[in-house]
Amino acid sequence: MNFASWPRLLVVDVEGNGTNPPDLVEVAALPIENGSPDKTTARAWLARPQRPVTAFATRVHGLTNQDLAHQPAWTEIAGTVQKFLGTAWICAHNAHIDHRVLTAHLPGWEPAGVLDTLRLARATLPGLPGYSLDALIKAVQPDLREAPAQRHRATYDAYATAQILIALAGHYDTWDDLVAAAVPPGLPGTPEPEKDPTLW
Q: What is the pLDDT of residue 195?
A: 58
Rounded-to-integer distance, Cα 115 and Cα 5, Å:
16
Looking at every residue in the chain, the average pLDDT score rounds to 94
pLDDT reading at 200 higher than 60:
no
pLDDT reading at 192 higher than 80:
no
CA nearest neighbour of 119 among 161, 71, 68, 77: 161
Helix runs in the chain, H state only? 55-61, 65-68, 74-85, 95-105, 117-124, 133-140, 154-169, 175-182
pLDDT digits (tens, 9 = 90+) for 16-36: 999 999 999 999 999 999 999
pLDDT digits (tens, 9 = 90+) for 37-93: 999 999 999 999 999 999 999 999 999 999 999 999 999 999 999 999 999 999 999
Q: Please, which pLDDT band fits residue 2 given cuts at 50, 70 and 90?
A: confident
pLDDT reading at 194 higher than 90:
no
3-state percent breakdown (helix, strand, coil) of the chain, nearest 5:
40, 15, 45
pLDDT digits (tens, 9 = 90+) for 101-110: 999 999 999 9
Amino acid at 145: R
Give the phi and the psi of residue 38 in degrees, each rounded to 5. Answer: -100, 90
